[in-house]
Structure formats: C-alpha cells, structure tokens
Structure 1
Amino acid sequence: MSTFETHTFDTAPKASKPLIQGALNAYGFVPNLLGTMAEAPAMLEGYMTLAGIFDKTALTETERQIILMTNNRLNGCHYCMAAHTSLSQMGGVPADVIDALRNDTPIADSKLEALRQFAITINESRGWPTEAQVSSFIAAGYSRQTVIEVILGTALKVMSNYPNHVAETEVDAAFAANAWTPSAAHAAE
C-alpha cells in the first residue's frame, strides 16, 4: 500500500490549515483521520462539514452512533470503530449498546435494534432497501425522515472508512484503549 502522510498543522496543505486548526482547538490534538484527509483539502472540508450536518439530524447521540458504528463494523474500519467507541462512551451511549455494535449482536432495546438492522440493510443493499424493509423500520417507530438520515450517516462513513483503508490510518493514542479488529470472517470477504 502507498504511504500516506498524516499531516500536522505545519505540514498540511495551505487550504487544510484552517480546518486542522479547528480540530486542534476542538480536540486538543489532530486526530489521525483528519491529518490523513488533510492531503485533500476538499475531502477534509467535506467530511468535517457533513459530520456537523449529521449532528443536526433529529437523531439522538445513541441513534447517530448506532448508524455510524454499524457502518464502521460492516466496512471493517478499525480506526473508526476505536474512535467511535470512545466518542460513544463520552457521549453517554449505554455500554450494552456499544458492546452490541462492536460485537455484531442484537441491541436489547427493540427500537434501537430496528435502527441497527436498517443501517445494515442500507449498507448491504447499497441503498436499495425493499418496500417491506422500509415499512418495517417505520413500524418500529421511525419516520421517512429517519430513513434518509440513515443514508446520510452511511455516506459520512464512506467518507471516513475508505480513506482509512487506503491510508492504513493508525489509531490515535486517545482511542487506543478501544482498539477493534474485524472478525476473521469479515476480513476474509
């Protein structure tokens, strides 16, 4: 695999510097994902903008993390699983939900499990759920708006998971305690 630089503020392209500075101000460090994305300023801006927009959805923090972590697992992204486990813990997502997402096991809360299953459906069908799958999801207590917001979250994860795969992004020390490895079965796909 080609070597990709994980940029700092000093090494980032000029157009990425304001975004990297924003990350430094927000987190106190530049997450390796953002340092890698800095190579392509438009990608970095697009990802950071879309992440901010996803946070404005009608979804709760737990619901957003269910969508994001489900996609991380399905896409086999070790970096994002570690990072979002940490973010989920800081965001008050229940530990049993985090464990279910990391281990691909059902969530005890049936409505949240319906969301997890629908996120799987959107990812695995490449956005072609059946009418019955959409109806079942809405019957579980969600709305047509949520259907579209699941797609938004899925798109956000493509924007982060794929660069991590290509660049083999190293998990930051801040997220290392939540390291994750995809199952052998998934890794063989």
Structure 2
Amino acid sequence: MNFTLHTPTQAPTAALALLEGVQKAYGFVPNLMGQMAEAPAALQGYLALGQAFGQSSLSAVERQVVMMTINRLADCGYCMAAHCVVASMEGMPAEVLSALRAGRALPDTRLDALRQFTERMHNSRGHSSAQDLAALLTAGYSRQTALEVITGVGLKLISNYAAHLMQPPLDAAFQAQAW
C-alpha cells in the first residue's frame, strides 16, 4: 500500500501543525506518523492519546512494558523496533527489554504482573477476569493502573493497525532494534 510519507512542510493542512510538533518533540518525524498524517484526525487522536497515556501514574518503563507487550502480541515490527529504542532511552534494563522482545517472563516480578495483565487484557479483548485484576493489585498496582493499561492498549491498537495497513519503512533511528 503506497501511503504518502508527509512532512511538516508538505501534508494535509490540518496535519501540518501536528507534524511540526512531532518534529520538535523527536527531532524528526517517524515514518509511521508521517504516513498517519494522511488522515489528520487519526494522527491527532493518536498523539492526544499518547500524551494522555504519558500523564498516567505509570513510570516511563511501565508504560513501555504495556506498549511493547501489545506490539509483540500484534506482531508489529515497526512499533516494536521504535519502542525498543525509546525504552532504552528511558532506562529500561536490557534484560527486561530482551524478555519483552521474546515474550518471556520479566525478571522483575512487579513489572511481570503488569505484562501479564496487559497480555490478558489483549488476549481476552477486554474480558479479563477478577483473578487477573486481583493479580495486578497483589503486585502493588491499583484499579487506576488497570484503566491506564486499557489506555495504553488503545494507543497501541491505533499504531499497530496503522502500521500493518500502511507498512511504513523502518526509520534509520530504529534500525538497530529491528525485530
């Protein structure tokens, strides 16, 4: 599918300011977002949900656990590579990153409870059990966390589906973490 790779100077009018903001925030426009600019409402929704998830009670590493778990389950190579780079920059331990890429249990039991809850939410399409929530709470998380995981799942649903549809080329910045 040949989706146009838009730039902050060449994009639908409603997406220009969004791409300028992405450029300013990241230093470049990731190909996924450049292609998402084809539908400014989709890009705007993705960015807004990402900002909201970033303001959750979860730490940067915990947010990456949620997103990388979903990326792996959705088999999204583009998103997995991008988030591996970001997770490393945000201080995720190498052994946690490696386990997430491989779909293995995490060496940190609290983070692993978050990974398991995220996986169960995804696999059950939101029909998780009382036992799933209890396991998350037992690990020291809260009901708020459970709802924030849903926010992260929604965010990744947008980017994973968009990446599958558009098939953006992997940016040079993410090549070292190709998956």
TM-score strictly above 0.5: yes
Work out the CA distance in 1 between the residues paired with 2:170 and 2:82.
8
Equivalent residue, structure 1, for 2:33: 34
Equivalent residue, structure 2, for 1:97: 96
Equivalent residue, structure 1, for 2:71: 72
Structure 2: which 5+ runs fail to align? Answer: none
1:172 to partner: Cα distance: 0.4
* Matched pairs, number: 179
1:11 to partner: Cα distance: 2.6
Structure 1: which 5+ runs fail to align? Answer: 181-189
Equivalent residue, structure 1, for 2:10: 11
1:154 to partner: Cα distance: 0.2
Work out the CA distance in 2 between the residues paired with 1:50 and 1:136.
26
Work out the CA distance in 1 between the residues paired with 2:5 and 2:99.
31
Equivalent residue, structure 2, for 1:184: none
Equivalent residue, structure 1, for 2:53: 54
Q: Which amino acid aligns with 2:55?
A: K
Equivalent residue, structure 2, for 1:168: 167
1:10 to partner: Cα distance: 2.9
1:136 to partner: Cα distance: 1.6
1:24 to partner: Cα distance: 1.3
Q: Which amino acid aligns with 2:124?
A: S
Q: Which amino acid aligns with 1:166?
A: L
Structure 1 segments of 4+ aligned residues over 4 angstroms from their partners: none
Report 1:151-166 matches (<5 A).
151-166=150-165
1:13 to partner: Cα distance: 0.2
Work out the CA distance in 1 between the residues paired with 2:103 and 2:93.
15
Work out the CA distance in 1 between the residues paired with 2:122 and 2:61.
19
Work out the CA distance in 2 between the residues paired with 1:61 and 1:30.
21
SS in 2 for 1:10: coil
Work out the CA distance in 1 between the residues paired with 2:142 and 2:20.
37
SS in 2 for 1:18: helix
Equivalent residue, structure 2, for 1:187: none
Q: Which amino acid aligns with 1:53?
A: A
Root mean square deviation, CA, Å:
0.8
- TM, length-normalised to structure 2: 0.98
- TM, length-normalised to structure 1: 0.93
